Copies of this chain bind each other. A is one copy, B any other.
Amino acid sequence: MPVNRNSDRYVWLQIADKIRDDVAAGVLWPGKNLPSEAQLQGEFGVGREVVRQALCLLRFEALIRTARGVGSVVRTPPEKKPLKLKRGETATIRMTTQPERRDMEWDEGVPMLVVTRTDGSVEILQADTVVLTG
């Protein structure tokens, strides 16, 4: 099913929507390989940049992971562990920078949870791996 060229929604967003919906519907699932960029180009009848923009978006949504020479796979949602802040501990959340992601070997689209203790020490956690409790 090709994209709708008359839609107000941009072609690359339509493709991202389709893949996102396929994951939500179970047509694609964690660990499953996406079609290659070339296959997606053919399937949707678009150029390469459009496909790549869609995949880039989905990477920053933490929905997929892409590796050179391999392709894109649906990410497995991380296990979430409970975290209860102790008295005096505070936590803030922000996106990572690319150098941070490179050094820590984190996927794109994984926010950072910074826990600060009263003694000034900090702990960095992948924010999507915790369930905060009151």
Contact = CB atoms under 8 A, between A and B. Distances in A.
Interface of A: 13, 16-17, 20, 56-57, 60-63, 80, 84-99, 108-111, 113, 127-128, 130-134
Contact of A61 (B13, B57, B95): B95
A62 to B, nearest CB: 5
Contacts of A56: 56
Contacts of A131: 90-92
Contacts of A99: 17
Contacts of A17: 99
Contacts of A95: 60-62, 109-111, 128
Contact of A134 (B80, B85, B128): B85
A133 B97 contact: no
Given A84-B134, A134-B89, A60 B60 contact: yes
B111 A61 contact: no
B96 A111 contact: no
A126 B80 CA distance: 20
A77 B16 CA distance: 29
Given A95-B109, A95-B111, A109-B95, A133 B90 contact: yes
